Structure 1
Amino acid sequence: MPSQELVILVPLAIKSVIGSLRGCIEQAAGVSLRPVHDLNPAIAERVFSGRRGDIGLSNPQYVRQLTDAGYVDRAAHRAFGRVRLAVARQHGAGGPVVTGTEEIVALLTSAQSIGYTGAGTSGRTFLGVLGRLGLVANVGPRCRPMGGGAPVLAVAAGEIEFAVVPLTTILGSPGVEPAAIFPDELDTHIDMSVFVTRTAAPEAMAVLDFLTSPELDAQLAANGVSRFTLG
């Protein structure tokens, strides 16, 4: 194992995706990675607070805050991937995976209970689309804010009916399956970019190069992540 260890800050939404790539990253970059998992907003807060993080992934708006404050060089910030918002149900529940706006409205309206990540980007995105669809009064009372990772665990255990979380979370979690995937027209996708902090060792740039290589595109797509371009 390489002697150089780098801390990589990974959003919970793509924990399983980065976990599956870890061995390949370490081999390609010649470093050992120590993952730290958290919600997207907390990753930026960790860097702002001065805690160690050599490479990180988070929503572009948070990374731009880090670059504006001098924690990240602009050349060390690149697009990583886009994840769709989705609805999880208990594995084996059966039925189609709906992708139309009217179908999703019907699904949410008929739900007995819906969990979402209260402090995460996906949770804010979900509450935003409820407002745009005019569903706050009807669906809101049956929605439950929960901690990171808790909504899918509750669905798998049969404690709640649905969880609204990133598609990657559903695909990487046992005991759940997709019931719905939000369409592009609802503008609920979650973008994540990758960055290297100014205090990181030079090897960190090799990790950034690996994670943004086109050679990963097909593997990422199979795990619910599509590429995008930073605006």
Structure 2
Amino acid sequence: MVSKDFNPGVRHPLYFIRKGLYNKISLYSGELKGRVLDFGCGAKPYRSLFQHVDAYIGVDYASEGHSHQNEEIDVYYDGKTLPFENESFDALFSSEVFEHVFGLAQILPEINRVLKKDAKILITCPFLWEEHEEPVDYARYTRFALQDMLTKNGFEILITDKNGHMVRAMHQAFIVYLHDYWLHKVPFFSRFNLFKKIIRQAVIPSLNCLFLLFEPLWPKYDKLYLNTIILAQKKG
């Protein structure tokens, strides 16, 4: 089962981005078969969505911006070369990782190398999001940039999808502002545990519920959104 942090309820400050990602990954996870590589796996939060595959191997990089303590990493790599033989995997999954890879275009040939012919890859990448895992937060890619890099490195784009739309992205950003800034950075408010409890247990859930109630009334303008989702296939 996917944990409540990655399949959250409305009380969670990251409800809209993470619930949206969970829904999109659930939608496309069945496209990946056989032996699957989770690139940048961390704690493998979406492992349970791939119960149908033959094997699920996680690889990650020991970077300074993210602690891997108590995570389920099977193999570490050096940031340049994946420690696997050519054509070792039938598919690849990578969620919210590409923005942390400095020189992404240089690692894509390695990803291609370890995949079999016609292997499918499922990728999610943030488009509108705060800086995180500093200092290894290097980029925000448009869908066109991702499509271009993948195409130039031997992949055919099958599906490009988006998580969220402008108003949802703006609401999620405001909730993050309340949770991350007001509760931790504003001197007057950050001292009082009662205030923090009110924000976490009453204000954020109420705002999220109100947004869900009124969201259908907003036109879905998706030039600004939360995440890009791409399903692609290695060319023969």
TM-score (norm 2): 0.30
Higher relative contact order (CA 8 A, sep 6+): 1
Higher strand share: 1
